[in-house]
Structure 1
């Protein structure tokens, strides 16, 4: 099966000042997403895995490496997202992004080893979705726990899915929490 892409979305944010304080080095955040025709159509589909195995790597090829390239800096934190149009079900998006053929493309491009945190839901065109991010090699790195809100005007339509990858060049701007376990003496 071929993927029918209606649009590709690329978004880059560079934060240089946070709460009146300089952010150095600057915090870079990149999002690359594609809006595709829902390959499962509308309604219930029993076998989601066979089709996901067939197309997930192609979707990863279109989003993961492009996200890393757009970031323009080494990736430190990452996440993934699927926003399904109201004609589908959340499991349609989950099948595509919770597939190692999708995830490994992005993980390899980013130099990551951790599981990609994810957000998936059904929504209307232009609905926001909050995407969790974690450090690419150590999910216990608190400074890199962050959530990004994404929104693509006019997408997804009822018969579409927005699938994407998010990466940052650092942890939260001005992060200053103690390391994981410090409050209990664990490390």
Structure 2
């Protein structure tokens, strides 16, 4: 059976100024959070979580992707993406992981935005109002530190002990006024320094 969804919440923020400087192209970050009933709640230790993954993850992923694309104005606007999940206090972290860490869920988003980078993530256990900190990274360039972002949301009434909050995130750009070199630059610079060091 598909996952039972209690509520879907969208959180959107747009930055127009950072560090007392106007942002030339404002950056919008968006989170879509689905509050679902934990399908493994109250069943004790469930050895095989794949049955529920097969039943619910693809449909949930597609529904959330449809919302995120509509809210942000289309796949072509997205430069960075990520995901997160928080299981309620009566669940296992593995339950949160089971929903977001499988291709039936994640590939709905990756395919929609034609991404090459893997979806960065957080997964943890917490109660209503817990901070959900979701890392984002560039769709195609995993070394692009300009797009190493974090979006934080708080849902005052979720997750309940028997629920899981599942989140997808997107950004229309990198950090405003980004001026840190990417990881490839560091690697080349360190290699040059080592080669020039006296033996």
TM bucket by the smaller chain?
over 0.9
Supply the distance in 1 between the matched residues of 2:182 and 2:162 (Cα, whole angstroms). Answer: 44
1:9-29, CA deviations, whole angstroms, 9 ceiling, x for partnerless residues? Answer: 011111011111111211110
Supply the distance in 2 between the matched residues of 1:127 and 1:109 (Cα, whole angstroms). Answer: 29
* Counterpart check, 1:56 vs 2:46: no
1:175 — aligned with what?
178
1:25 — aligned with what?
25
Count of paired positions: 187
1:38 — aligned with what?
38
* Counterpart check, 1:77 vs 2:80: yes
Shift in Å at residue 82 of structure 1?
Answer: 0.7
Match of 2:146 among 143, 148, 155: 143
Supply the distance in 2 between the matched residues of 1:140 and 1:5 (Cα, whole angstroms). Answer: 36
Shift in Å at residue 175 of structure 1?
Answer: 0.8
Name structure 2 gaps, 5 residues minimum: 192-199
1:59 partner SS: helix
Measured on the aligned residues, the alpha-carbon RMSD in Å equals 1.6
2:96 partner SS: helix
1:175 partner SS: coil
Supply the distance in 1 between the matched residues of 2:105 and 2:147 (Cα, whole angstroms). Answer: 22
**1:129 and 1:177, CA in 2 relative to 1: closer, same or farther beyond 3 A?**
same
Shift in Å at residue 180 of structure 1?
Answer: 2.1
Supply the distance in 1 between the matched residues of 2:66 and 2:116 (Cα, whole angstroms). Answer: 15
TM-score (norm 1): 0.94
Query: Residues 143 and 184 of structure 2 are in contact (CA less than 8 Å); yes or no, is this contact kept in structure 1?
Result: no
Whose helix fraction is larger, Structure 1's or Structure 2's? 2
2:197 — aligned with what?
none
Supply the distance in 2 between the matched residues of 1:3 and 1:182 (Cα, whole angstroms). Answer: 44
TM-score (norm 2): 0.89
Match of 1:90 among 89, 93, 97: 93
Shift in Å at residue 154 of structure 1?
Answer: 0.4
Supply the distance in 1 between the matched residues of 2:70 and 2:177 (Cα, whole angstroms). Answer: 24
Query: Residues 120 and 136 of structure 2 are in contact (CA less than 8 Å); yes or no, is this contact kept in structure 1?
Result: yes
- Report the more deviating stretch, 71-80 or 176-185: 176-185
Supply the distance in 1 between the matched residues of 2:112 and 2:8 (Cα, whole angstroms). Answer: 19
1:121 — aligned with what?
124
Q: Which has the larger radius of gyration?
A: 2
